[in-house]
Amino acid sequence: MSTPDHVDVLAEELLEAARSEAPSAEARARAMASLGVTPPGGGGGTPQGDGSGAATATGGTGVGLKGAAIVTLAGLAALALWRVSSVGAPVATPAPHEPPTSTARGPETVEPALAPSSAASLSPGAQEPAAPASPLASASAGVRPAGEASSHAHRPRAPTVADTAPHVVAPPPAAASASSDARRGDDLAAELAELERARARLRTGDATGALSLLDAHAAHHPKGVLSTEATLLRVEALVAAGRMDEAKRVAGPLVDRRDLTGERARRLLAR
C-alpha cells in the first residue's frame, strides 16, 4: 500500500504528463487551413500573391506573402525542434519527447494516413536544445507565441551537395529524423500557404482563380496533409461559381462522413 506522499508524487506525474500533450503539427495545420488562420509572424495579412509563384511557398510575388511564407516555412520546418516557452502562462509545460498520439483519420477519410513520425514528434532537444520559441511549434497552454521575428534564424539549412554525395557517411538516425521532419514541416508550410492563397482569392469573389490555385495545390501536393481542406475549399469555389454538379461530385466522398468535415461539406452544398 502506498503512502499518501507516494500518491502525491504519482498524481503530479500524471498531471505533468497531461500538461505535456500537444496536438500534432498536422492537426494544427488542418485547423489553421480550416479557420483561415495565418501563421504567426506573417503579419496576419491576407496573402496578396497572384498565384504565379505557386510552385513553392516562397515563390509568391507579394512581399507580404513572401514574408509570411518564409516565416511559415521557418516555423513549420522547425516544428518539433522548438517548444514555445511559457510566457506568462500559469503552468509552464515544456514537453519531453514522447510518441505522437495517433492522428490518422478513420477509414472513411480521404486524407492519406499520416506517417507515424510526425514533425511534432521530434525530440525538441536533439538538435537545438536552446532554441527559442517557434510560432508554429506545439505551444504550451495559454502561451502567446514569442519571438516572431526569430524564425528566420532557425530555418532549416538547405541541402548541400555534401548532403547527397555518395561518399558522405550517413547521418546518425537522430539527424536523419530531424532532416526528415524538417522536410515535412516545409511541405506542410508550403501546402498551407497555397491553400490560404486560394482562400484569399475566393474571398475576393474570383472563384475561377481560386480553382486554378487549388489545381496547382493538388499538383504540388497530391497526397497533402491538407487534402480534405483543399477539397472543401474546392467545393466552396465550385458552388460560388455556380457549378453545382461538379461541387456535388467533388464533395461526394465527404458528405457521408459523420464528423465536422461531413457537416461542412453538407452545409456548403446547401448554400
Partner 1 sequence: MRPQRTGSAAPIERADEPPSADEVPTLDEPARRRLADLFHAHYDVVYRILRRFGLDTVRAEDGAQQVFVIAARRLDQIIEDRARAFLTGTAVNVARRVRRERALQAIGSEPPANDPAVDELVDHKQRRELLDRILGEMEDDLRAVLVLAEIEGLAKREIADALDIPEGTVASRLRRAKEDLHARLRRHQARVAQRSVEAAGGQDEHP
Residue numbers at the binding site for partner 1 (CB under 8 A) = 1-2, 4, 6-8, 10-11, 13-24, 27-28, 30-32, 34-40, 44-46, 89-91, 96, 98-99, 101-103, 105-106, 135-136, 138-145, 203, 259-261, 263-264, 267
Smallest gap, in angstroms, from Cβ of residue 200 to partner 1? 10
| 36 vs 116 by CB, closer to partner 1 | 36
Side chain identity at residue 31, one-letter code = A
Shorter beta-carbon distance to partner 1: residue 31 or 175? 31
Q: Whole-number minimum distance, CB 176 to partner 1, in Å?
A: 23
Cα 236 to Cα 202: distance, rounded to the nearest angstrom: 9
Opening angle at CA 100, ends 56 and 79, nearest 5? 35
Q: How far is the CB of 187 from partner 1 (least distance, A)?
A: 19
CB 78 within 8 A of CB 186: no
Q: 226-229 — which CB contacts under 8 Å span 24+ positions? A: 226/29, 226/30, 226/33, 226/188, 226/191, 226/192, 226/195, 227/110, 227/111, 227/112, 228/30, 228/109, 228/110, 228/111, 228/254, 228/261, 229/30, 229/33, 229/34, 229/195
Are the C-beta atoms of 49 and 62 separated by less than 8 Å?
yes
In the bound state with partner 1, the residue whose beta carbon lies nearer, of 57 and 136, is 136
Distance in Å, CB of 136 to partner 1, minimum: 8
Closest CB to partner 1 among residues 54, 139 = 139
d(CA 234, CA 213): 10
Question: Residue 141 or residue 153: which is nearer to partner 1 going by CB?
Answer: 141
Shortest Å, Cβ 160 to partner 1: 32
